[in-house]
């Protein structure tokens, strides 16, 4: 694909919607401004009860030949790609474990998944994903001087809350897709 776009002088990009979410973009600004110090850990999760959301046992997610996987391919990419965006880096190493326990997931290897990403500079991310668990999502970056967390993080219908903590109690700000963020001081931030 890269060779084809280079040969035809056309753009190639990841059109990933999380990079346009205001709370995620603000979290990245905090990280880039050094508000957290040096990033050390990222923790991300996206889980859902897919058979309650889409009650079709013949859906593509549960067909290993069509989907190529289940939790990792469909929703595990959200914490993975958001970690890449927030850190502005690609992982150097990845390792993980997957399991399919419920009979409805017999044709796919990853009803549940957990994986670790090793980023440059000894920054580690631990991500989890499941297509058969309580619906939840978050992304958090912990640094040497603070942390930032967005929760819920990934479902498009959720309003997000951004929590920032540095040198004092954590402050949480509700967000919606139209929220603009304004910095009010070096240790606290407000939504407007």
Closest CA to 76 of 40, 119, 45: 45
Would you place residue 16 in the very low, low, confident or very high pLDDT band (cuts 50, 70, 90)?
confident
Report the pLDDT value the prediction gives residue 187, as an integer from 0 to 100: 40
pLDDT at 176 (0 to 100):
57
Write the DSSP string, 38-49. SEEEEEEEEEEE
pLDDT in tens, 19-59: 889 999 999 999 999 999 999 999 999 999 999 999 999 99
Query: What ranges do the domains of the chain cover?
Result: 38-138
Neighbours of 94 (CB within 10 A): 12
159 DSSP 8-state letter: P
Helix (H) or strand (E) holding 32: helix 22-32
Structure tokens given for 110:
């990853």
Q: Count each helix (H run) and each strand (E run) in the chain, helices first.
A: 6, 10
Is pLDDT of 190 > 50?
no
How far is Cα 123 from Cα 105, in angstroms, rounded to an integer?
33
pLDDT tens digit sequence for 58-87: 999 999 999 888 999 899 999 999 999 999
CATH classification number, 38-138, choose in 3.40.50.720, 3.10.20.30, 3.30.360.10, 3.30.390.10:
3.30.360.10
* 109-135: pLDDT as tens digits: 999 999 999 999 999 999 999 999 999
CA-nearest of 7, 29, 41, 3 to 147 is 41
Task: Count CA within 13 A, CB hemisphere, residue 79.
Answer: 32
* Residue position matching structure tokens 């668990």: 133
């Amino acid at each position: 694909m890269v060779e084809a776009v280079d040969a035809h002088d056309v753009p190639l990009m990841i059109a990933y919607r999380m990079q346009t979410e205001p709370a995620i973009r603000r979290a990245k600004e905090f990280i880039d401004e050094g508000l957290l110090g040096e990033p050390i850990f990222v923790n991300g999760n996206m889980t859902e009860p897919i058979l309650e959301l889409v009650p079709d046992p013949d859906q593509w997610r549960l067909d290993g030949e069509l989907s190529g996987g289940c939790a990792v391919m469909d929703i595990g990419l959200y914490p993975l790609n958001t970690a890449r965006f927030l850190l502005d880096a690609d992982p150097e190493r990845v390792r993980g474990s997957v399991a399919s326990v419920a009979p409805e997931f017999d044709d796919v290897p990853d009803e549940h998944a957990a994986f670790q990403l090793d980023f440059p500079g000894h920054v580690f991310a631990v991500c989890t994903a499941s297509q058969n668990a309580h619906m939840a999502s978050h992304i958090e970056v912990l640094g040497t001087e603070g942390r930032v967390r967005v929760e819920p993080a990934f479902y498009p219908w959720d309003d997000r809350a951004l929590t920032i903590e540095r040198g004092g109690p954590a402050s949480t700000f509700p967000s919606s897709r139209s929220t603009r963020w304004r910095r009010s001081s070096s240790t606290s931030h407000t939504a407007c």
